Amino acid sequence: MTEYESESPPRDPDRLRRRAGVRGNPDRDQHFLVDDRVLDRVPGYLPPDADRSHLLEIGGGTGALTDRLLASGEHVTVVERDPDLAAFLREEFDEEVAAGRLDVLEGDALDVELPEFTACVSNLPYGVSSEIAFRLLPEKRPLVLMFQLEFAERMVADPGTEEYGRLSVSAGHYADVELVETVPREAFDPQPRVESALVRCTPRDPEYEVADEEFFLRFVKALFTQRRKTVRNAIRNTAHISGLADPDAVVEAVDEGTLAKRPGELPPAAFAALAGTALRESDVGEGQ
């Protein structure tokens, strides 16, 4: 138990939804996590040494996870885009709001100014989960995030596997990424069409260096649009995406062993080396 843990039992997710008067709307990406056992486990997936003094939650819904986060952290900020749910959260947790332990920000998590936070635990809206994840990852804070299972598997994939791609390299650039629990459809109401998964991201510096992070990520994106091609052809075919002015000069500077591989076979460090060569051998524009 942490020093913040509440002595009162956690709020029941079904009762919270009844009090809020909502049923969830798949068309608005509202799938409420209602399985008590999963909810109780979620905060525990943060790294043991994670600073829990200010926890961020994206998509508070009716507050079932918010309640667990308040029990395990000192201060919680919830971002909720639905104005009715934001109002409900302020009413349901009025004591915590009054005590300065809970802030509710009404708005889209892609647009609002996020506060300084020490860790983030969230059941993300799946339609914008990628955009939100890549807003959070550069903050270099511990994250426990709920994704669609297929998305989570691509985040944690190893080189040479079918799932390995731009997402794997980009997420791994910022953190050690682990799939810590598969969550069945039945844990949500309304049920999504696919299974879900909890992913833990523990921030760390990569084992390689990049001179220009923005270009590195754009270069990785470009090459994976040609994942079935050789690296040689991928570099040449995607200059309009990466922004390379002279892709042939880059190809000439890279060893044959690398050029003959496909992007999905390259580990992140190899992408970093390629990006470094590209920056040395060619002028680089903004790309697409």
Q: Is 75 annotated as a binding residue?
A: no
Q: Is 256 annotated as a binding residue?
A: no
Q: Is 233 annotated as a binding residue?
A: no
Q: Say what the pLDDT of residue 3 is.
A: 47
Query: Tens of pLDDT along 110-147?
Result: 999 999 999 999 999 888 999 999 999 999 999 999 99
Q: What is the CATH number of the domain that holds 30?
A: 3.40.50.150
Give CA–CA dist 251/117, Å, rounded.
Answer: 43
Q: Are 121 and 237 contained in the same domain?
A: no
Q: Are 260 and 235 contained in the same domain?
A: yes
Strands 119-123 and 188-189: unpaired
Q: Is 108 annotated as a binding residue?
A: yes
Q: Which of 203, 226, 253 is the last residue of a domain?
A: 203
Q: Is 274 annotated as a binding residue?
A: no
Torsion of CA 74, 105, 22, 37, to 10 degrees: -30
Residue 139 lies in a domain: yes
Residue 235 lies in a domain: yes
Q: Say what the pLDDT of residue 6 is.
A: 58
Q: Is 167 annotated as a binding residue?
A: no
Task: Supply the mean pLDDT for the chain.
Answer: 94
Instruction: Give me the mean pLDDT over the 188-213 stretch.
Output: 95
Q: Are 79 and 174 contained in the same domain?
A: yes
Q: Say what the pLDDT of residue 5 is.
A: 57
Q: Are 237 and 196 contained in the same domain?
A: no
Query: Tens of pLDDT along 54-87?
Result: 999 999 999 999 999 999 999 999 999 999 999 9
Strands 143-148 and 119-123: parallel
Computed over its alpha carbons, how large is the radius of gyration of the chain? 21
Give percent of the chain above pLDDT 70.
96
Asked whether residue 275 carries a pLDDT value surpassing 50, the answer given is yes
Q: Are 57 and 197 contained in the same domain?
A: yes
Residue 3 lies in a domain: no
Asked whether residue 220 carries a pLDDT value surpassing 50, the answer given is yes
Q: How would you list the strands of the sheet with 55-58, edge to edge? A: 102-106, 76-80, 55-58, 119-123, 143-148, 196-203, 175-183
Residue span of the structural domain in which 226 resides? 213-281
Query: Tens of pLDDT along 5-40?
Result: 556 789 999 999 999 998 777 766 778 999 999 999
Q: Say what the pLDDT of residue 286 is.
A: 78
Q: Are 196 and 265 contained in the same domain?
A: no
Q: Are 116 and 253 contained in the same domain?
A: no
Cβ atoms of 135 and 110 within 8 Å: the answer is: yes
Residue 233 lies in a domain: yes
Q: Which of 138, 172, 203 is the last residue of a domain?
A: 203
Q: Are 224 and 156 contained in the same domain?
A: no
Q: Say what the pLDDT of residue 22 is.
A: 87
Q: Which of 180, 203, 226 is the last residue of a domain?
A: 203
